Amino acid sequence: MSSAKDRLIEAYLTCFGLGYAPIASGTFGTLGGVALAIVFALYLPAHYMLACLVAAVVLTLIGAPLGKWAEEKWQRKDPGQYVLDEVIGFLVTVAFIDPEHNLTIHLAVGFLLFRFFDIFKPPPARQLEKVSGGWGIILDDVVAGIYAAIALCIYTCLLYTSDAADDS
């Protein structure tokens, strides 16, 4: 029987059960990051970027040491149930958007870009998976989030440049 502490850790790492999705647990886990980004956009729009980045750092500092716990519980390296890394990566992806301008579009495009980079793991993301424990679980998603953030910024610049050209 698991203790209350173990159940709390499990809820945290699975993003309250999203990690137990029968297929594409990482995709479902990313929805936890979407929810946090929406909360930050609605309630902290003036501090949105700071809120996303501080949350990503705090979640990482708590979640990384729990990687060993997760690997022992689910008997594998980087277990699919551990989706806190997707939440962190998504927050990195969308930290630099303007929460008061096209939020839904930016979150949707950010979601797709993050999932793309998280699945295909361009260097050094793939190499960071080899780091032991929770740091290896999380760092590849942080790198995927950085790649996705850059792509999202390029998309946003192109979108706004196109809008400005249409207005002239």
Number of neighbouring beta carbons within 10 Å of residue 156: 19
pLDDT 10s per residue in the chain (168 long)?
579 999 999 999 999 999 999 999 999 999 999 999 999 999 999 999 999 999 999 999 999 999 999 999 999 989 999 999 999 999 999 999 999 999 999 999 999 999 999 999 999 999 999 998 899 999 999 999 999 999 999 999 988 776 656 665
Q: What is the pLDDT of residue 2?
A: 78
* Ramachandran class of 24: left when φ > 0, alpha when ψ lies in -120 to 50, beta otherwise: left
Determine the straight-line distance between the first and last CA of the chain, rounded to whole angstroms.
Answer: 67
3-class secondary structure for 30-95?
HHHHHHHHHHHHHHCHHHHHHHHHHHHHHHHHHHHHHHHHHHHHHCCCCCCCCCHHHHHHHHHHHC
163, two tokens = 């809008």
Q: What integer pLDDT is reported at residue 168 of this predicted model? A: 57
User: Which H helix or E strand runs over 144?
Assistant: helix 133-167
